[in-house]
Amino acid sequence: MVEIVGALLIRGRAVLMGLRSADKAMLPQCWDVIGGHVEAGETPYETLVREVAEEIGVTVLSAEPLDVVTYDLPGQPTLVQHLFVVTGWNGEISLANDEHTELRWFSVDELGTIPDDAFRAYRPQLERTIRSRRPL
């Protein structure tokens, strides 16, 4: 089992997604939320803060736990993903490392058109969350 964190940064009625780099061992060239592996001694919230800073260069000011989703990928250990809705951040969102090659805001309708997504296991939670959030 591997614990990971997913950050749902929502602006208006859209969520920020990153296109994973082609050289990633897990889900290369797939669209996914920002996040990563929980390291030894970290809580999922601490991982959230670290991963968001490392990947998109912003500081998480506040976040709410949304759900924990367990799923299996062929040839991979079981993933346990802690999903958080990031309700406040500071800084300009940008590619801060080589984890992703592109960042883009997607509306709920646009999420359904992504051919290579990594979020099928939690798409219902993602769509409900975007629809129910007050625009930031």
Q: Where are the domains of the chain?
A: 2-132
Q: Residue 49's pLDDT is what?
A: 98
| Residues 108/133, Cβ–Cβ less than 8 Å | no
The model's pTM: 0.85
| Residues 102/119, Cβ–Cβ less than 8 Å | no
In single-letter form, the type of residue at position 98 comes to: D
Give 136's pLDDT tier (boundaries 50, 70, 90).
very low
Phi, psi for residue 89 in degrees, rounded to 5:
-150, 160
User: How is residue 135 annotated by DSSP?
Assistant: P
**CA–CA separation, 118 vs 132, rounded Å?**
22
| Residues 64/84, Cβ–Cβ less than 8 Å | yes
State pLDDT tens for residues 97-130: 998 999 999 887 888 787 766 666 666 666 777 7
pLDDT at 86 over 60: yes
**CA–CA separation, 103 vs 28, rounded Å?**
15
In single-letter form, the type of residue at position 102 comes to: E
Q: Report the candidate in 110, 121, 9, 117 with the shortest Cα–Cα distance to residue 55.
A: 9
State pLDDT tens for residues 36-84: 999 999 999 999 999 999 999 999 999 999 889 888 877 878 889 999 9
> Architecture of domain 2-132 in CATH?
Alpha-Beta Complex (3.90)
